[in-house]
């Protein structure tokens, strides 16, 4: 490679990155996951578009798995444990038993209805069954859901890659017959349990280290956090346990520990997560040659995707929900929100890299199914969430952002008052915030004022509230209660010193 080649790569790469970031805004506006924009961008600059040729499945697999590690780390680091904990059992069951049910139903349908041989039928069922963490997390950013529902989707998408990677790899390298059914399930359990335990151990150790270490620059903390999550993956993979389970669990532990410079770390990992998604989806778009996709690939991809979406997925959700108190509308939404994205396409590169017969056909069918059903499922999610009663009120009545005040272990909350909020008209004193929290400034019409107890809040105001970190959740709940019910909203939180009644 010459310096001119490097210049061309940097010019192209920076241009693609800027276009991809701008595509995020467009995708949010039309209600579709940005992955479709990135895939389309990759196809446009690929072999059948601008002529950039990329056809090495081995490199694609390595880069794809690397990007998935970063995406899972970002997802875990931004997951709230208090949201995830009540849904943990249902999410884990969906990631294991539910995924197995989906694979079985889709494999049988692909063989008997679409005439695929058993190896190809099981492979396409396996690669399509797991939900995609990047797609699910991107939707959760735009569709506010009740914590129980979002916790189920986050847990499932974070953990269901692990058993499928084992299955697809075993079939692709010809080892599935060596295990037997009982041996294979024992292997999956071993990999998941040991991987999760290693993630817990490495994440806990990393948290203890970061809380005691005094690093010379704030920017070093996010780097160490990411390095710890990658260490968890590598440690598990080294002993043939599940690296994906390890990296996600380690990230959840780190993300829910009081670490120095949490806000800076969160911003950094979100940026890395977006970068990994953009690079992954553009690369997979480059790998696709639309001219090689035949009519039967489209028919089989759409048909098998329909079998998964309308039969296998609802059946697996219903079977797992039978162990929990989950209403049918909530089941309907969870089943519909199980989005596919980069994970199925990355998994399809495993048999491609191992030279499995008809692996090109598998890849093309997977690509068709992912594109078609991502559009079909993602577009109505917001309306479906409202109809199913799983949409959260968060973001409607009050918008809250926060910045850390590390030295005094406090947070600065920035509160925006939208037109629908009943905060408008309430006096500052009527907020009845607990001792340890106070409204320090109001930004109104491009000017600032220091409020009194009788200062009346208006629509469009920005309130700056300083609160100790231990009271932050209580303050946020109080603000949301007043925003929904007005000044007479009851104080229905756990009693703490200084709270109103």
| pLDDT at residue number 498 | 41
Distance CA 494, CA 376 (A): 43
Phi, psi of 101 (to 5 degrees): -65, -45
Mean pLDDT score, 133-159: 79
Q: What is the DSSP code (8-state) at residue 145?
A: B
- The domain that holds 134 is classified in CATH as 1.20.1530.20
Contact in structure between 394 and 140 (CB atoms under 8 Å) = no
| pLDDT at residue number 194 | 93
Whether 65 is in a domain gets the answer no
Answer yes or no: do 340 and 470 share one domain.
no
Whether 59 is in a domain gets the answer no
Whether 294 is in a domain gets the answer yes
Look up residue 261 and give its two tokens. 């410079």
- From first CA to last CA, the distance across the chain in angstroms is 71
Answer yes or no: do 217 and 191 share one domain.
yes
Who's near 70: CB < 8 A, 6+ residues apart? 226, 272, 273, 275, 276
pTM value?
A: 0.76
Mean pLDDT score, 124-143: 80
Answer yes or no: do 299 and 251 share one domain.
yes
Give per-residue pLDDT as tens, 165-204: 888 888 888 777 666 777 778 888 888 899 999 999 999 9
Of the candidate ranges 35-39, 199-203, 367-371, 479-483, the one whose mean pLDDT is the lowest: 35-39
Answer yes or no: do 414 and 376 share one domain.
no
Confidence of residue 143 (pLDDT cuts 50, 70, 90): confident
Portion of the chain with pLDDT greater than 70, in percent:
89
Q: Is pLDDT larger for residue 263 or for residue 334?
A: 334
Distance CA 268, CA 304 (A): 39
| pLDDT at residue number 404 | 60
User: Where is the domain boundary, 361, 388, 415?
Assistant: 388
Neighbours of 123 (CB within 10 A): 28
Of the candidate ranges 46-55, 92-101, 338-347, the one whose mean pLDDT is the lowest: 46-55
Mean pLDDT score, 115-136: 88
Phi, psi of 405 (to 5 degrees): -115, 85
Confidence of residue 314 (pLDDT cuts 50, 70, 90): very high
Answer yes or no: do 281 and 324 share one domain.
yes
Answer yes or no: do 344 and 409 share one domain.
no
Distance CA 45, CA 12 (A): 10
Q: To 5 degrees, how large is the angle CA 26–CA 31–CA 34? A: 55
Q: Is the pLDDT of residue 11 over 80?
A: yes
User: Where is the domain boundary, 388, 416, 437?
Assistant: 388
User: Where is the domain boundary, 343, 362, 388?
Assistant: 388
Range of the domain at 344: 3-49+70-388
Answer yes or no: do 429 and 331 share one domain.
no
Whether 419 is in a domain gets the answer yes
Please provide the DSSP assignment of 290-320 as one string: GGG--HHHHHHHHHHHHHIIIIIHHHHHHHH
Answer yes or no: do 341 and 457 share one domain.
no
Of the candidate ranges 7-16, 291-300, 363-372, the one whose mean pLDDT is the lowest: 7-16
Distance CA 93, CA 5 (A): 49
Whether 490 is in a domain gets the answer no
Q: What is the DSSP code (8-state) at residue 113?
A: T
Answer yes or no: do 92 and 124 share one domain.
yes
Q: Is the pLDDT of residue 302 over 50?
A: yes
For residue 401, what are the β-bridge partners?
414
Give per-residue pLDDT as tens, 384-405: 888 998 887 655 556 666 666 6
The Cα-based distances of 329 to 20, 36, 389 in angstroms read: 35, 28, 8
Distance CA 289, CA 44 (A): 10
Mean of per-residue pLDDT scores for the chain: 84
Distance CA 490, CA 89 (A): 32
Whether 152 is in a domain gets the answer yes
Portion of the chain with pLDDT greater than 90, in percent:
25
State the burial class of residue 346 (Cβ atoms within 10 Å of its Cβ: 0-12, 13-18, 19+): buried
Q: Is pLDDT larger for residue 245 or for residue 22?
A: 245
Answer yes or no: do 365 and 468 share one domain.
no
- Residue 434, classed as helix, strand or coil, is coil
Give per-residue pLDDT as tens, 57-71: 888 888 888 988 988
Residue (of 152, 130, 137) closest to 24 by Cα position: 137
Answer yes or no: do 176 and 115 share one domain.
yes
Whether 63 is in a domain gets the answer no
For the chain, how many structural domains are there in total? 2
Which single residue is written with the structure tokens 């039967």? 296
Whether 218 is in a domain gets the answer yes
| pLDDT at residue number 108 | 95
| pLDDT at residue number 493 | 44
- The domain that holds 453 is classified in CATH as 3.30.70.1450
Distance CA 287, CA 310 (A): 29
Answer yes or no: do 331 and 197 share one domain.
yes
Q: Is the pLDDT of residue 257 over 60?
A: yes
Which single residue is written with the structure tokens 């993602």? 378
Mean pLDDT score, 97-116: 93
Distance CA 287, CA 348 (A): 11
Mean pLDDT score, 207-229: 84
């Amino acid at each position: 490679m010459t310096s001119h080649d490097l210049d061309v790569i940097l010019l192209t790469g920076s241009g693609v990155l800027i276009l991809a970031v701008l595509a995020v805004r467009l995708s949010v506006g039309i209600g579709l996951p940005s992955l479709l924009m990135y895939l389309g961008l990759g196809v446009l600059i690929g072999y059948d578009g601008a002529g950039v040729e990329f056809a090495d499945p081995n490199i694609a697999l390595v880069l794809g798995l690397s990007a998935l590690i970063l995406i899972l780390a970002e997802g875990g680091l931004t997951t709230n444990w208090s949201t995830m904990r009540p849904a943990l059992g249902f999410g884990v069951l969906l990631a294991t038993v539910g995924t197995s049910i989906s694979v079985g139903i889709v494999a049988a349908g692909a063989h008997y209805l679409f005439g695929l041989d058993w190896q190809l039928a099981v492979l396409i069922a396996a690669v399509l069954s797991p939900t995609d963490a990047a797609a699910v997390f991107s939707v959760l950013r735009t569709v506010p859901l009740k914590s129980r529902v979002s916790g189920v989707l986050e847990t499932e998408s974070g953990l269901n890659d692990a058993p499928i990677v084992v299955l697809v790899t075993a079939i692709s390298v010809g080892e599935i017959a060596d295990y037997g059914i009982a041996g294979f399930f024992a292997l999956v359990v071993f990999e998941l349990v040991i991987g999760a335990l290693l993630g817990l151990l490495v994440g806990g150790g990393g948290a203890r280290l970061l809380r005691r270490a005094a690093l010379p620059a704030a920017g070093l903390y996010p780097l160490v956090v990411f390095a710890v999550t990658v260490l968890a993956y590598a440690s598990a993979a080294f002993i043939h346990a599940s690296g994906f389970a390890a990296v996600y669990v380690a990230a959840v532990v780190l993300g829910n520990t009081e670490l120095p410079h949490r806000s800076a770390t969160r911003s950094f990992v979100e940026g890395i997560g977006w970068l990994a998604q953009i690079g992954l989806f553009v690369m997979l778009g480059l790998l696709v040659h639309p001219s090689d996709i035949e009519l039967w690939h489209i028919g089989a991809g759409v048909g098998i995707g329909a079998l998964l979406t309308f039969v296998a997925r609802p059946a697996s959700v219903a079977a797992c929900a039978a162990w929990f108190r989950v209403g049918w509308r909530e089941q309907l939404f969870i089943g519909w929100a199980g989005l596919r994205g980069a994970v199925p396409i990355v998994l399809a590169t495993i048999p491609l890299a191992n030279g499995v017969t008809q692996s090109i056909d598998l890849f093309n069918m997977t690509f068709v199914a992912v594109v078609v059903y991502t559009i079909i499922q993602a577009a109505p999610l917001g309306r479906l969430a409202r109809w199913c009663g799983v949409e959260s009120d968060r973001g409607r009545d009050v918008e809250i952002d926060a910045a850390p005040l590390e030295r005094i272990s406090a947070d600065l909350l920035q509160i925006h008052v939208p037109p629908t909020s009943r905060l408008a008209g309430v006096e500052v004193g009527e907020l009845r915030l607990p001792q340890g929290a106070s409204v320090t400034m109001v930004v109104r019409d491009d000017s600032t004022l220091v409020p009194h107890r009788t200062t009346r809040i208006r629509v469009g105001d920005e309130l700056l509230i300083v609160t100790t970190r231990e009271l932050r959740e209580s303050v946020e709940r109080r603000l949301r209660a007043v925003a929904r019910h007005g000044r007479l909203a009851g104080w229905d939180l756990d009693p703490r010193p200084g709270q109103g009644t």
